[in-house]
Amino acid sequence: YLFSRYTIKGLTLFDCVRVNLATQFFNAITPFASGGQPFQVVYFHSRGIKVKDSTSIVVMNFITYSIAFVIVGLICLVLKYPTFDTLLKGSGYRYLVFVGITINIFVILLTVFLAFSKKLYYILIEVLWKKIIKWPIIRRFNLETKTDQISNMILDYQEKIKELKHNRSLWFLSLIIHIIRVLIFVVIPLIIFKALGEDLSGLWLTLGAASMFVNIIMSYVPTPGASGGAEGVFYLFFNLFFTSQIVVPGLLLWRLITYYLYILAGFLALVTLNYKNNLKDLNYNNVYNIEEENSLE
Over residues 159-188, the pLDDT tens digits come to 766 766 677 788 889 899 999 999 999 999
Distance CA 296, CA 247 (A): 57
What is the per-residue pLDDT for 114?
Answer: 74
> What is the reported pLDDT for 280?
67
Structure confidence by residue, pLDDT tens digits, 282-295? 554 444 443 443 44
- Looking at per-residue pLDDT, the higher value among 287 and 156 belongs to 156
The rounded mean pLDDT for the chain is: 81
Over residues 238-258, mean pLDDT: 94
Quick one: which of 51, 40, 56, 41 has its CA closest to 153? 51
Q: What is the pLDDT at residue 153? A: 65
The answer, yes or no, to whether residue 297 has pLDDT greater than 60, is: no
pTM, two decimals, is 0.81
User: Longest Cα pair distance anywhere in the chain, in angstroms?
Assistant: 67
Q: Which residues contact 170 (CB under 8 A, 6 or more apart)?
A: 2, 3, 6, 164
pLDDT at 137 over 70: no
What whole-number distance in Å separates Cα of residue 30 and Cα of residue 22?
Answer: 13
List pLDDT tens digits, range 72-96: 999 999 999 888 888 887 666 667 8
What pLDDT shows up at residue 192? 97
Q: How far apart are CA 209 and CA 190, in angstroms?
A: 11
Q: Where are the domains of the chain?
A: 4-287
Look at residue 59 and tell me whether its pLDDT is greater than 60: yes
**What pLDDT, on the 0 to 100 scale, is given for residue 260?**
92
Distances (CA, A) of 265 to 41, 85, 137, 262: 20, 37, 44, 5
Of 221 and 16, the one with more pLDDT: 16
